[in-house]
A and B are shown apart, each in its own frame.
Chain A
Amino acid sequence: MLIEKKRRLFQILSALGLNLDFLSLLRGEINQGKIKGVCVPALNCYSCPAAIGACPVGALQNSLSSLRYNLGSGQKKFGLYVIGSIGVIGSVGGRLACGWLCPFGFLQELIYRLPGPKIQLSKKLNFLRYFFLFVFVLFLPLFLVDSLGLGAPWFCKIVCPAGTLEAGLVLAAVNPTIRSQLGWLFAWKTVVLVVFLVLMVISQRPFCRLVCPLGTILGWFNHVSAFRMKVDLEACLRCDACQRICPVNIKIYENPDSSQCIRCLKCEKVCPVSCISHDWEVLRTGKKQPVLAQK
């Protein structure tokens, strides 16, 4: 099977698999299954009625926002389970989950197929994702707390368009009680969602490139993950065919471990001299394969 078709199949199965509880969706309630505490390897809002697992970004913010309360009340809960779960996902595949499993990434790819003007986002904007991670996911939930020491998941509250789309709009449509409570915050989040939907039409994966805190964290693991990209630098023509097809606009030959790379493997397919490859070599035991030129 062609690698792009295989990836599409993985994305479809993942989107369905992570949102499997259609009965809760029909009832207008959210899934409350026993595995809802398992952190899934993607940005998938746990308030989506059909979601069967926990969004790591939401879970991380909630761990941090209750950290000071927990410490004050003598509870030894530091969010290690969530941090460790993200670490497991990252150390196995780095951003492989972004390219192959994330339903919101899949949605962005589908919307980009719509006709319309297409632009390339400036690389100068890439720093924004660090801003969203450090300010909205880490700093504000940890330090902006009430008298009890409890904070709020500020990224979910102010920014996350995935929550608005998968949870807010869906629950508002199927649950009259929730619909009656919507106010200015929902209006703000809807505006953010609309802005991103427009950006998705004109540019590739804008949320992943500019905002996604999970992708930012997993990107750090690209340097050490079991899954890795390899480039034969001696064979590489520097024709930049890889950059032209790349959803995040990188030259993979400059840094195969780039934290931007979502491991979609589109570059492998278009390389005229087939000098780009991938493997799970770190996990392989026994006789080593000949090592290609690599960074």
Chain B
Amino acid sequence: MGKRRLWFWIFFGLAIILVVIGLTSGEFKTVWLKAKTVCLECIGIG
């Protein structure tokens, strides 16, 4: 259990760090801009 707990916190911590770095470099806005426009590929046009 101790080993699993350690791995969980390593992965969870890394994931949180990546999210924070991504957010500070403006990636949320990039995802938002894509998500708020109709994805032509998704609907089968582009």
Whole-angstrom CA separation of A88 from B38 in the bound complex: 27
User: Considering only CB atoms, which chain B residue lies closest to A85 in the complex?
Assistant: B19
Q: Does A134 contact B (CB under 8 A)?
A: no
Which residues of A are found within 8 Å of B10, using beta-carbon distances? 224
Q: Are A37 and B31 in contact (CB under 8 A)?
A: yes
Q: Are B18 and A81 in contact (CB under 8 A)?
A: yes
**Are A63 and B39 also in contact (CB < 8 A) when A81-B18, A81-B19 are?**
no
Q: Are A47 and B18 in contact (CB under 8 A)?
A: no
CB-contact partner of A36 in B1, B18, B36, under 8 A: B36
CB-contact partner of B17 in A32, A84, A225, under 8 A: A84
Contact with B along A19-55 (1 / 0, CB 8 A): 0000000000011111011010000011100010111
For the complex formed, measure the closest distance between the CB of A260 and the CB atoms of chain B, giving whole angstroms.
19
For the complex formed, measure the closest distance between the CB of A141 and the CB atoms of chain B, giving whole angstroms.
10
Q: Are B39 and A37 in contact (CB under 8 A)?
A: no
Whole-angstrom CA separation of A59 from B14 in the bound complex: 19
Of the listed residues B14, B15, B20, the one surrounded by the most CB atoms of chain A closer than 10 A to its CB is B15
Q: Are A282 and B8 in contact (CB under 8 A)?
A: yes
**Are A84 and B45 also in contact (CB < 8 A) when A58-B39, A226-B8, A282-B1 are?**
no
Whole-angstrom CA separation of A55 from B35 in the bound complex: 8
Which residues of B are found within 8 Å of A190, using beta-carbon distances? 44
**Are A153 and B15 also in contact (CB < 8 A) when A79-B27, A80-B21, A228-B4 are?**
no
Q: Are B36 and A30 in contact (CB under 8 A)?
A: yes
CB-contact partner of A76 in B25, B35, B36, under 8 A: B25
Contact with A along B2-46 (1 / 0, CB 8 A): 001101101110111111111101111111111111110111111
Whole-angstrom CA separation of A291 from B3 in the bound complex: 14
User: Considering only CB atoms, which chain B residue lies closest to A37 in the complex?
Assistant: B32
Which residues of A are found within 8 Å of B31, using beta-carbon distances? 37, 39, 54, 59, 62-63, 81-82
Query: Which residues of chain A have a CB within 8 Å of any CB of chain B?
Result: 30-34, 36-37, 39, 45-47, 51, 53-55, 58-59, 62-63, 66, 76-88, 90-92, 152-153, 156-157, 160, 163-164, 167-168, 171-172, 178, 181-183, 185-190, 221, 223-226, 228, 281-282, 288, 291
